[in-house]
Structures are given as C-alpha cells and as structure tokens.
Amino acid sequence: MSGFTSLLEYEKPLHAGYELLPFRFTQLSGDRYVVTNLAGEFTVLERPELEAFAKTQLSASDPVYSELKSKHFLTDGDSNVAIDLLALKVRTKLAPLANFTGLHIFVTTLRCEHSCPYCQVSRANDDRREFDMTEETASKAVDLVFRSPSPAIKIEFQGGESLLNQDIIEFTVEEVTRRNQQEKRDLAFVIATNLAVLDDRAITFARKHNILMSTSLDGPADLHNRNRPRPGGNSYEKAIQGIHRVRRELGRDRVGALMTTTVASLGRVREIIDEYVRQDFDGIFLRPLSPYGFAIKTKFYQSYDQSRWLEFYFEGLDYIIDLNLAGFPFLEHYAATILRKMLTPFQPGYVDLISPAGIGIGAIVYNYDGDVYASDESRMLAEMGDKTFCLGNVHTHSYDELLLSDNLLEPLEASFAGSAPMCSWCAFEPYCGSDPVFHHATQKDFVGKKPLSAFCSRNMSIFRGLVERMERPGVREMFERWAYMR
C-alpha cells in the first residue's frame, strides 16, 4: 500500500518564487496605482504592494497575491497554464479583427435643411441635386460591401439629411436584401436623420425592412433649437414628433438619439440627461465636438477646451451613477463601451476604440460621388479639402485596390497603439484605440504628440475616472451590468 504524503510536504513555505507576466501601471490618486495586463485585466494596488510585486517579493499569503495570479499578472510553480490562459484572452479580444469591415456608411446626399453650426459636414442647400448619390454609384458600393468577409453587415445611411434622397435609400436596401438571399449575411440597416422630413413613405419602408432610425437630440427645446437651427426654429419639436411617431409605428426600440456638446451645453448636463429620461431613452452618449467640417469653419470646435468638457462629462456620469444607485437604470453609452473592454472578454467594435485603428477595419464610407473613405471622420476631413484618407472611388478602383491603399495601410501601421510612443507603455492601452484621422486633423501627424492630444487626455481621464468610481459601493456591480448590455 502506498503511504500518506509526508507532513514535510505541507510545511513548505507559501512563497516559492514567481515570475512576472507583462504588465503596465499608472498612478491614480495618492499612492494608489492601476495595473493592467495584455488582456485588459486590471487591479488597483497601493504603492508598497506594487513595489513588492514588481520586485517579486510578494508572498503567496499576501492578500493581493491570489488576485494577481488569477488575473495573470504572475505565474508560479503551482500552475503552468497562466501563460496559455493569458494568450487565449488576448486572442479572444483580437478575434473580431478577422471579420474586418462590418459597418458600411452610404452618404446619400450632402443636402440638408438644418444649418447646425457644429456640423462635421459642409452641407449643401436643398436644391443642389448634384450632391445626391446615384443608383450607379450605390450599386458599385454594394458590390464592395459584399466583398467584406464580415458575417454581419450594417448599412448606415448618412447625409446631409439622408432622407432627402430617399430614392437611393430604397434602392440600396432592396439591392442589398436581394443579393443577401445568396450571401446569407446578418443584415442591419440604419437611417441617420434629423426626423424633420420623416413622412409616411419613410415609415412604411422602414417597417417593411426593419430599419432603425438614428437622430440627434441635444437637450431641452431651447438648447436643441439653438444648436440645430432650421427654418421655422422648430427642430426640437420636429425631432420629438419624429421620435414619438417612430416608436408608435415601428416600435419603442427602433429609434436612437445622439447629442453633441456645444459651449451652450456646458453647465446644463443634468438638464440634458433629464430630457433623455423624459423622452424615455435608456441612456445617453455624452459626446464632445469634433474637429471637422463646418465645426471648424464656424470656430465651434475651439469654443471650449478639453478640461471644460471633462468637467461636463464627469458631472453627467456621476449624476447617472446616482440615478442608477437610486434604482433608476440609465446608461452613459461611451462609458458602457469602455467598460465592455475593461470588464468582459469581448470587443464593442466602436471605431474610435480599436487598435489597430478602426479606419477601414471597423468602418468604411461610400460618399455621394463614389469616393471611398477610411472612416466617416476622414470623409468630413475631405470636405475641408484634405483627402489624405481617400482610398479611391467605387467607379475606378477594385476592392483590393481600395483596402490595400497606402492611404489606409500607412496610417494603420504608423498609429498602432501597441508600438506607438507613449501608447505602448500606457496602462490604459488595452482599452484605448488609435485615431490617425483625429491626430492628422489636429497635428498633421498620424500618431500625434500624445501630451498635446485631446483624444489621449480625454480617454485617459475617463479610463482613470471609471476605475476610481468602481471603488464606490455598488458601482462595480452596476458597471458590470453596463458592460454586458448591447
């Protein structure tokens, strides 16, 4: 008979040595540090704990040892699977890249009856039909859509006001639907519209093809009408009427809304959130201005600095957190997108938070004239006369020529966050992305000088703020619910 294991085996010291796995860290408040690994697992350590960990001086009896081990910050002789599990988590995070482009944006027209001073597109007057997409151009773009290997295809129609060229929306949806009988992709359609020109025809067509409407709502009536002027001064009334009509005739979940923060919005974030609550939305995307198109021409982009927007954002986020803790569920969608990267094995697919950059990979844009752009922002940049990110034209270039264009591959390679200066050693790199279009627009460089980058300072502040707020009672659990909501 075999004997029992010797008692000496159970008297071995708890610490028999461990090896560090790749990690990064950055300071929070005081002597507290957030530590992250390649897969985006994170923990918060006091400085003495971080120093002991980095010097491999922790004992297995230390309170943080088990957490660091379970999250693959270290490996020891007790287990040899940590590296394999870490690699599996990294592969899971990166797996969606293999699907390539899932979002395809069709710019149906540049015409618009609004004259929003912060607009990212240089709009055209309502009578300028030369700025409408034609059936020939739409058909060529549809050919390219189905060259993407993605099993899920979302077609989004934008403008101008996309519904001013409703003929091309109907043509494209019907053509995509017809071709998909053989392709068997998972299809979704979205019409981005201010809802002011919504009519029976659009509602009937949207019902037939299960189309989602996406609109703008900047806050209460006075603020919305100021931000989004139109003849008659009734853009808010038109938007609310349209929202109610879509819900009534298509379903409550068939309309979404986005807001944009102008200088007039600062100081009113609670009113803006209350408006979204009043209109029965389940969340809000607190969105800053972007440095493109009409927003530059009118100097709206320079109307407030990054620090003022961050004050606005965190006041709003804290108000939303308090609403949730009081029992009223409501999301801040940008935070929820980041939390999906922080707290789950999954990628949200949000273009601005993809590395390699989301341009071309996450989305592609077919302009009204057939020009193809690496992102919606790069199309807006072209409207300012800078076609750096124009990949070609649907009438003259093949799919391979477009997607292998130097105008796409060069910024992708140059801006890859995993090797970019400062990004490569930033603790928040697993949650961030790279935005070569933004940095080119603001610094004339694909990578950009990170200390001067509004993109970096905004995201780093939000990442840090989310980690710190998770230490409030009940917030971590609430954030986990946000992370798993789609």
Span 394-416, pLDDT tens digits? 999 999 999 999 999 999 999 88
Whether residue 415 is contained in a domain is answered as no
* Pairing verdict, β 186-192 and 331-332: unpaired
Q: Exposure pattern of 150-177 as b/e (b: 16+ CB <10 Å)?
A: beebbbbbbbbbbbbbbebbebbbebbe
The residue behind tokens 């944006």 is 105
What is residue 83's predicted lDDT score, i.e. its pLDDT? Answer: 87
Q: Nearest Cα to 344, choosing from 482, 147, 186?
A: 482
- Burial of residue 81 (CB within 10 Å: 0-12, 13-18, 19+) is exposed
One domain, residues 168 and 291: yes
Cα–Cα distances (Å) from 212 to 91, 164, 173, 191, in that order, read: 32, 17, 12, 6
Where are any strands of DSSP class E within 379-436? 390-393
One domain, residues 175 and 64: no
**Taking a C-beta distance cutoff of 8 angstroms, is the pair 110, 160 a contact?**
yes
Give residue 38's domain range: 12-94
Whether residue 159 is contained in a domain is answered as yes
Token pair recorded at residue 336: 């929820």
One domain, residues 237 and 183: yes
CATH number for the domain harbouring residue 263:
3.20.20.70
**Taking a C-beta distance cutoff of 8 angstroms, is the pair 407, 418 a contact?**
no
Q: Nearest Cα to 136, choosing from 372, 368, 365, 363?
A: 368
Token pair recorded at residue 109: 């027209």
**Taking a C-beta distance cutoff of 8 angstroms, is the pair 374, 437 a contact?**
yes
What is residue 293's predicted lDDT score, i.e. its pLDDT? Answer: 57
Cα–Cα distances (Å) from 394 to 135, 201, 234, in that order, read: 12, 29, 38
What is residue 242's predicted lDDT score, i.e. its pLDDT? Answer: 98
One domain, residues 358 and 240: yes
The residue behind tokens 């030369």 is 130
Task: Provide the number of structural domains found in the chain.
Answer: 2
Whether residue 196 is contained in a domain is answered as yes
* Pairing verdict, β 74-76 and 103-107: unpaired
How is 385-396 classified by DSSP, letter by letter? Answer: T--TTEEEETTT
Cα–Cα distances (Å) from 417 to 70, 145, 194, 248, 413, in that order, read: 26, 27, 35, 45, 9
The percentage of residues in the chain with a pLDDT greater than 70, rounded to a whole number, is 92
Q: Is the peptide bond before 474 cis (omega within 30 degrees of 0)?
A: no
Query: Which positions of the chain have pLDDT values less than 50?
Result: 1-2, 10, 12-15
* Pairing verdict, β 103-107 and 152-158: parallel
One domain, residues 181 and 307: yes
What is residue 305's predicted lDDT score, i.e. its pLDDT? Answer: 84
One domain, residues 64 and 115: no
Q: Nearest Cα to 36, choosing from 84, 82, 68?
A: 68
What is residue 302's predicted lDDT score, i.e. its pLDDT? Answer: 60
What's the rounded Cα separation, in Å, for the pair 373 and 407? 9
What is residue 13's predicted lDDT score, i.e. its pLDDT? Answer: 47
Whether residue 241 is contained in a domain is answered as yes
One domain, residues 115 and 174: yes
Helices (H) and strands (E) in the chain, counts: 18, 15
One domain, residues 65 and 206: no
What's the rounded Cα separation, in Å, for the pair 424 and 418? 5
End-to-end CA distance of the chain: 58
Whether residue 125 is contained in a domain is answered as yes
The torsion region of residue 445 among left (phi > 0), alpha (psi -120 to 50) and beta comes to: beta
Half-sphere exposure of 414 (CA within 13 A, CB side): 17
Domain boundary among 62, 94, 126: 94
**Taking a C-beta distance cutoff of 8 angstroms, is the pair 72, 85 a contact?**
yes
Where are any strands of DSSP class E within 223-264? 255-258
One domain, residues 266 and 393: yes
One domain, residues 49 and 148: no
One domain, residues 130 and 229: yes
One domain, residues 269 and 363: yes
With H, G, I as helix, E, B as strand and everything else as coil, classify residue 363: strand
Whether residue 384 is contained in a domain is answered as yes
What's the rounded Cα separation, in Å, for the pair 53 and 65? 8
With H, G, I as helix, E, B as strand and everything else as coil, classify residue 31: coil
Domain boundary among 66, 94, 122: 94
Half-sphere exposure of 388 (CA within 13 A, CB side): 20
Token pair recorded at residue 270: 């609670």
Domain boundary among 94, 116, 145: 94
What's the rounded Cα separation, in Å, for the pair 322 and 320? 5
Whether residue 340 is contained in a domain is answered as no
Whether residue 455 is contained in a domain is answered as no
Token pair recorded at residue 68: 């660091």
